[in-house]
Chains A and B, each alone.
Chain A
Amino acid sequence: MRLPFTALAAALVCATALAGSAQAADPIKIGVSGPFTGGSSSMGVSMRDGVRLAVAEINKKGGVLGRQLQIVERDDEAKNEVGAQVAQELINKEKVVATLGFINTGVALAAQRFYQEAEIPVINNVATGTIITNQFNPPDYDANYVFRTSAYDVLQAGMMADEAIARGFKKIAILADSTNYGQLGREDLEKYLKAKGVTPVAVEKFNIKDVDMTAQLLKSQAAGADVILAYGIGPELGQIANGMAKLGWKVPMITSWPASMQSFIDIAGANGNGVTMPQTFIEDQTLPRRKAFLEGYYSTFKVNKIPTPVAGAQGYDSVYLLAAAIQQAGSTSGPKIRAALEDLKEKVEGVVTTYDKPFTKTDHNAITRNMVVFGKVQDGRIVYAKEEDAKNAGVIRVKEKASN
């Protein structure tokens, strides 16, 4: 009896020692969830590649807490149920420390409650649904584990409406797709316009995969619209631009941010020129930090344009924010990282902005309205829509305190 016991004890000691030493060298696992195939894949792939680039840079400099970062990528196919499965796999099987991602608002809402329950922070770097960061607000919950580095919908809708009014348009037509994204956006737009005392002359709906936009456009035209505010994603926004060209009716089109998707540019072609949309990031190399990012992205992934620049930049920045939080927390425990994110001491220099206290306990959105500019489609690229923005490209727009 004696011998086996000693052997067992020895084995145990060995095993613990092994596990201990493995712990020190173990990489820090970070989950990445996004659609890498499918209709919104240009956003998902850009985001993922931005994340990959940032992780490679950090690892080259020695990683975080002396450990390398390791990303675990999973394709959520833009489907809510797949997103929920991915979340459970990343949490329970891969045991990630935090997760970055979510392109689609629906997927974010379906998946992030698992992170909330497991007390693992998740940073939304593309999805824009306003409710995303408000789902687990205190005091209903002890702490909110959901953060965001993208411009949320209420903010975008307000910008679109203000832009239309500022440019002197009186008769506004709203076109929105029939998904949650489009209809929530339409609501935000209508609410905002109402507050400004403007009633849109037409409010029309279209379905994903709709072939023909004639009815929607003719109604807007018959109502005398002098501008179109469109809330949808790349392919259908492209069909609207093409439909206007077909009808020979040309009024300015201001859309939600997905008109910067590659699919919009491909589908609308020349008809897309001049369409404007809110953007947090424009591919412009004035600042050395952005120049280095763009050069790194182009050469690593062998492209001459980021398919969806905003998604790439926000994905890239989300890694640096998370790394800074882990560093500050000095640990990979979820609650500690969350606390660090809510009170980041160090300024994090990203490509969208330099983050100076991006989050607080009550504000989990890193982007405020002053940080978002209008982009414009021009010959296959997104450029600054306004000259003053282009001129100020070298000025970093930092977060306004307490404006969220």
Chain B
Amino acid sequence: MTIFLQLVASGVAVGMIYAAIAFGYQLTFATSKTLNFGQGEALALGALFGLTLVPFTGYWLMLPLVLIFGFALGAVVERLGVRPAVKIKSEYGWIMATIALGIIFRNVAENIWGRDDLKFPSPLPETALSFEGIRVLPMELLIVAGALLMMLAVELFNRKSIWGKAVVATSNDIDAAGLMGINTRKVITLSYSISAMTAAFAGVLVAPVTLTGATMGAVLALKAFAVAIIGGLESGLGVIVGGLILGIVETLTGFYISTGYKDVPGLILLLLVLAVRPVGLFGKAVIKKV
């Protein structure tokens, strides 16, 4: 039983890493029906930027600076990659553009920080805590708490602030929102900024557990993409549940079946969800009127 619970605990930690990244996909998809395929690179840039700041500012003061950095990065991605495509109603232009921007960001990061995997200083002690035989790193707890707090903050922003309400209105019906006087273009930019901000934050959050480097986001962003699809691309709750499912399934498969097949059940789950419920477990089924 201890082994099972230990696997679940580690799975939760990994799953929340996926969820924190998947959350960013969900934000931009809600407003503009587009995604930033460079989300993994935004994550890596955030972590590397944070790593550079830590010696000067310390861990906690670094966080707001990374948030600002991510916010600006998102705006750049939207202006350069997404807006031109959305303007001409291109169905796929933004895919190529965000992938291209991601590659550029990765190359820039490689030139500045090199391609070594670096150690990110942990703000918490690195000795594991033991709960009745189940051992958890303090940093893993911080990841879970930080990711939940981040999602909560974005949710609150959407529900309470005027800008947030504009985001929700745009998500519900972009044309109606535009007719009601909402500047939907600005709202889309804002959603990209918040999305990249969450990615950059997720980057510094997970970096002490994963490793830091220009390619750290590649595998994580792909897993997070699967999470977003399993949970539903329009649901914040969905990505949390999706992340936990994938994380736990991975560690359990690794132990009870084979570590060689660790990634397989997650992908089978992805195919199943796509076959049975294409909008994801928590997605809203809408009929697209043409």
Contacts and interface: CB of A to CB of B under 8 A. Distances in A.
Given A37-B110, A206-B259, A214 B116 contact: no
Contacts of A234: 117
Given A41-B114, A245-B128, A247-B135, A212 B255 contact: no
Q: Is the interface of A mostly helix, strand, loop or mixed?
A: helix
B135 to A, nearest CB: 5
Interface in A187-203: none
A219 B255 contact: yes
A42 B116 CA distance: 8
Contact of A211 (B209, B213, B215, B253): B209
Contacts of A37: 110, 114-115
Interface in A172-217: 178, 204-207, 209, 211-212, 214-216
A143 interface: no
A222 interface: yes
Given A214-B6, A215-B255, A39 B219 contact: no
A205 B116 contact: no
Interface residues of B, number: 42
Interface in B111-169: 114-119, 126-128, 130, 135-137
Given A218-B3, A245-B128, A246-B128, A39 B117 contact: yes
Contact of A216 (B136, B220, B254): B254
Contact of B219 (A209, A218, A245): A209
Contact of A248 (B117, B130, B262): B130
Nearest to A204: B259
Contact of B251 (A204, A206, A212, A222): A212
B181 interface: no
A247 B219 CA distance: 24
B6 A267 contact: no
B26 interface: no
Contacts of A235: 117, 211
B228 to A, nearest CB: 18
A37 B109 CA distance: 12
B260 A205 contact: yes
A266 interface: yes
Nearest to A214: B10
B218 interface: yes
Contacts of B245: none
B48 to A, nearest CB: 15
Contacts of A138: none
Using C-beta atoms within 8 Å of the partner chain, give the interface range for chain A. Answer: 20 to 34
B128 A38 contact: no
B270 interface: no
A267 B260 CA distance: 24
A248 B130 CA distance: 9
Nearest to B118: A266
A263 interface: yes
Interface in A252-289: 263, 266-267, 269
Interface string B83-127: 000000000000000000000000000100011111100000011
Contacts of A247: 6, 128, 135
A239 B259 CA distance: 15
A263 B116 CA distance: 8
Nearest to A235: B117
A205 B218 contact: no
Interface in B178-225: 206, 209-211, 213, 215-216, 218-220
A42 B115 CA distance: 10
Contacts of A266: 118-119
Interface of B: 3, 6-7, 10, 13-14, 17, 110, 114-119, 126-128, 130, 135-137, 206, 209-211, 213, 215-216, 218-220, 250-255, 258-260, 262-263
27 contacts: A37-B110, A39-B115, A39-B116, A39-B213, A41-B114, A205-B258, A206-B259, A207-B263, A211-B17, A211-B206, A214-B10, A215-B7, A215-B10, A215-B251, A215-B253, A215-B259, A218-B3, A218-B6, A218-B7, A246-B135, A247-B6, A247-B135, A263-B116, A263-B117, A266-B119, A267-B119, A267-B211
